[in-house]
Every structure is written in structure tokens, then in C-alpha cells.
């Protein structure tokens, strides 16, 4: 049994706990919070036995094998490093770290310590994404990709009211690119590999974080366009255009409705039966990695995406 502890007490950690309950061989034993009452309340609400505010002691207690890092992006690196140094496996929420260099250092440290560091990127482990990959040969040579994730954030209302919520705080690596842009970027890199070059631009909101943006990933035979926003919304489908046909995907974070249109006029649409909470698939992958699967491809994808994120931010500087 893999014994987990959680870091963070927001909704995403609850959702993670719900996913863990659906995977065999892994369970949450301890909830950590910076606040004792919050730790206890969170643990009680989710039926977790232990609660603590002492992360350093927890990591060295011998009571856990792995930790889930669900803190704001800017807090990830230090917590992940502490866990690795203590010989604990790590599932860190997307984006793992603000820069590729930081994640590369953590990957090296984890390898030296004999533990797994894994970035949770739920869409690439979803069976819907596997179905998209299976359809690719049907559309011939890929020429144009257009993926996006635009979701209006209620926390933008706080920005408009003059506040700086974590998710729009540049000091905590907030912003739309880190929060949502990484989903379409990860899907592109997962399906097609590392791009030859990346260019992009973003729109800055009052806190100094980006609220929306777009990027172009260039490959030898095609280009992929990626868009993201937390200050607007979109119901536009995602598309992969090939010389023989086009694949349409409803949601890049959770592909469920997938349509294939061929140049000969035929169109087929399918519904993918998948879990409503698709974190279950990334939790299952994490458990497999702890049991001995090679984490290198997962880590390489994360690194390529973080390098793309950096290229987009650099363009803005």
C-alpha cells in the first residue's frame, strides 16, 4: 500500500483525494496544512486519519511513502525538494515549477535519491487523449493544430476589485499560462513531441500576471496554435487538421466528444467513456511509477512544456 500525505486544503486537494479513493493500492494517511484547525477539519471531512502542521517532521516520520503537493505554483519547488531529500515520492500539481531549470534539478535530485517526481497533468493520462492519438493515422500528414483552454475565473472579479488572489499573483507563479495554458501545451507535446521553436504573447492584468495569451509551436511539417484565458471563455472545439481529415475534440482538459471528418465527406463522432474526475488516471500512473515504471517520458514532457512556457514569458519580457 502506498501511503500518501497531502499538502494544501483547497478544492483541488479534495478532488485529488476523491481520485485516490478510486485507485487500488494507494491511500491518504495524513493531511498537512499551515493551520492546525484547517488540517484537522480537512482530514475529518475526507476521512483521513492524521493531520499535521509540521511538514518537516511528517516527511521524516516513516509514516508516508509519497506526498501530493497542491499548494500555489510558487510554493511547489521548495516543498518538492524537501520531500525528495527525505526520500519521499512526489506528485506535484501542474505546473510543477515556474521554470524548466528548477524541474530539471528536482528530476536529478529524485533520481539520485531513488524516488519519483511526477507532475500531475490530468489531460494527457485521460483515455480520451489516447483515443485522439489512435485516430491520428486516419488524417494523414498533420499540418495545423489548434488547442485552447479559456475559462473565466471568478477570482478575476477579485482582481477587478483591486485584490491579488494567489492565482493572479506573479510572486506565486500565477496567471493564465501557468494555470490553463499548460493543458493545451501539454496535449500538443504529448501527441507530437518537443517543438522546434515556440513564440507567444500574453495579456497582462492589474496584478502583473497574464490573464490570457496565445502561442505558436513550430514543428518541421506543421504548426500548433495554443490559446488560454482566465479573463474570457470559449466553447470553441480543439482541432487537428491533417491532409486527409480533421479531428475535433470538445475539451482539451478532458476529451469526451471526439469527431473525425474525412475529406471524402464522411464524419464519425464518438463519446469516450471516462471518469468524471479524470485525476484518477494520473493517480494510477503515479502509483505505477512508484511500483517501478520509468518516469523519464513523463518528466521529459513536463520539461518540454515548461521550456515552452518560458519561451512565451520571455517574449513578453
In three-state secondary structure terms, 66 is strand
In whole angstroms, the minimum distance from the beta carbon of 121 to ligand NAP comes to 8
The DSSP secondary-structure symbol of 126 reads: S
The whole-angstrom separation of Cα 208 and Cα 87 is: 37
Distance CA 151, CA 167 (A): 13
CA angle 138/126/96 to nearest 5° reads 120
Q: For ligand NAP, which residue of 43, 68, 91, 94 counts as binding (CB under 6 A)?
A: 94
The site that binds ligand NAP (CB under 6 A) totals a number of residues, namely 21
> Judged by CB under 6 A, does residue 70 bind ligand NAP?
yes
Position 93 contacts ligand NAP (CB under 6 A): yes
- Asked whether position 271 contacts ligand NAP by CB under 6 A, the answer is no
Q: Does 122 bind ligand NAP (CB under 6 A)?
A: yes
CA distance 272 to 133: 13
Strand 257-262 vs strand 2-7: parallel, antiparallel, or unpaired? Answer: unpaired
Contacting range for ligand NAP; rule: CB under 6 A; set: 31-39, 60-68, 97-105, 109-117: 31-39
Say how far residue 96 (Cα) sits from the centre of its chain: 8
Among 61, 99, 131, 166, interactor with ligand NAP by CB under 6 A: 166
Residue from 52, 71, 229, 261 that binds ligand NAP (CB under 6 A)?
A: 71
**Which residue has cell 521548495?**
78
Decide if residue 75 touches ligand NAP (CB under 6 A).
Answer: yes
Q: Does 10 bind ligand NAP (CB under 6 A)?
A: yes
Cell numbers standing for residue 56? 518537516
The residue ranges that bind ligand NAP (CB under 6 A) are 8-10, 12, 33-35, 38, 70-73, 75, 93-94, 120, 122, 166-167, 172, 179
Amino acid at each position: 500500500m502506498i501511503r500518501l500525505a497531502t499538502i494544501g486544503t483547497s478544492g483541488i486537494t479534495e478532488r485529488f483525494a476523491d481520485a485516490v479513493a478510486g485507485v487500488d493500492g494507494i491511500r491518504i494517511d495524513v493531511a498537512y496544512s499551515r493551520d492546525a484547525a484547517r488540517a484537522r477539519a480537512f482530514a475529518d471531512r475526507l476521512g483521513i486519519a492524521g493531520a499535521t502542521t509540521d511538514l518537516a517532521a511528517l516527511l521524516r516520520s516513516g509514516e508516508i511513502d509519497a506526498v501530493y503537493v497542491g499548494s500555489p505554483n510558487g510554493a511547489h519547488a521548495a516543498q518538492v525538494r524537501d520531500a525528495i531529500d527525505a526520500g519521499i515520492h512526489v506528485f506535484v500539481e501542474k505546473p510543477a515549477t515556474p521554470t524548466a531549470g528548477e524541474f530539471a534539478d528536482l528530476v536529478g535530485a529524485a533520481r539520485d535519491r531513488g524516488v519519483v517526481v511526477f507532475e500531475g497533468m490530468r489531460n494527457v493520462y485521460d483515455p480520451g487523449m489516447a483515443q485522439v492519438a489512435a485516430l491520428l493515422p486516419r488524417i494523414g500528414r498533420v499540418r495545423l493544430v489548434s488547442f485552447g483552454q479559456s475559462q473565466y475565473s471568478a477570482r478575476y472579479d477579485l482582481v477587478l476589485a483591486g485584490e491579488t488572489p494567489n492565482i493572479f499573483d506573479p510572486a506565486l507563479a500565477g496567471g493564465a499560462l501557468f494555470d490553463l495554458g499548460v493543458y493545451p501545451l501539454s496535449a500538443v507535446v504529448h501527441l507530437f513531441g518537443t517543438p522546434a521553436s515556440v513564440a507567444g504573447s500574453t495579456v497582462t492584468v492589474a496584478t502583473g500576471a497574464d490573464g490570457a495569451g496565445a502561442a505558436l509551436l513550430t514543428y518541421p511539417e506543421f504548426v500548433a496554435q495554443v490559446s488560454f484565458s482566465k479573463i474570457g471563455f470559449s466553447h470553441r472545439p480543439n482541432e487537428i487538421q491533417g491532409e486527409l481529415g480533421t479531428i475535433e475534440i470538445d475539451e482539451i482538459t478532458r476529451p469526451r466528444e471526439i469527431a473525425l471528418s474525412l475529406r471524402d465527406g464522411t464524419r464519425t463522432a464518438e463519446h469516450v467513456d471516462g471518469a468524471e474526475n479524470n485525476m484518477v488516471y494520473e493517480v494510477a500512473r503515479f502509483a505505477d511509477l512508484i511500483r517501478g515504471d520509468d518516469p523519464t517520458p513523463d518528466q521529459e514532457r513536463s520539461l518540454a512544456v515548461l521550456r515552452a512556457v518560458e519561451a512565451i514569458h520571455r517574449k513578453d519580457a
